[in-house]
Amino acid sequence: MKRRLQIITLLVIALMVLTACGMDQAPITSESEGIWDHFFVFPLSWLIIQAAELFNGSYGLAIMLMTVVIRLAILPLFLKQQKSSKAMQKLRPELDKLREKYDPKKQEDQAKMQQEMIQLYQKKWH
């Protein structure tokens, strides 16, 4: 019963938020106020409109082009995150050994474990 009430509450909140998105508003222009509208929504919509003009009014192609451009822009961040994730996977067995070696209930053991973890990270990444 409690779970059902939580789901219903969540759906009501989502409904209220989403209906507010459809309210009649002034169009977003370069003079629009608000950080999100001024620095993100307007420039992106302008780029999509310009790209659509290049593709003879095809907004579908313009959106696909903008998707590719944005993906290429964030590709270096994605690659760095992937590299870091793989490095952590390689360190996992050694970190697990450290966790088994020390008792997590004792503060002095926690401090020693943290110190050894720091040394391990420094050794592997520097």
Per-residue pLDDT of the chain (126 residues; tens, 9 = 90+): 788 889 999 999 988 777 766 555 678 888 888 888 888 889 999 999 999 999 999 999 999 999 999 999 999 999 999 998 998 898 899 888 888 888 778 888 888 888 888 888 888 766
Q: 56 — alpha (psi -120 to 50), left (phi > 0) or beta?
A: left
Torsion of CA 22, 23, 25, 28, to 10 degrees: -20
Please state, in angstroms and rounded to a whole number, the distance separating the CA atoms of residues 63 and 106.
56
Residue 41 half-sphere exposure toward CB, CA atoms < 13 A? 12
Please state, in angstroms and rounded to a whole number, the distance separating the CA atoms of residues 68 and 23.
31
Instruction: Give the model's pLDDT for residue 108.
Output: 84
- Measured at the alpha carbon of residue 92, what is the angle toward residues 77 and 86, in degrees to the nearest 5? 25
Q: 105 — alpha (psi -120 to 50), left (phi > 0) or beta?
A: alpha
Instruction: Give the model's pLDDT for residue 23.
Output: 57
What pTM does this model have?
0.59
Instruction: Give the model's pLDDT for residue 21.
Output: 63
Give the amino acid at 58: S
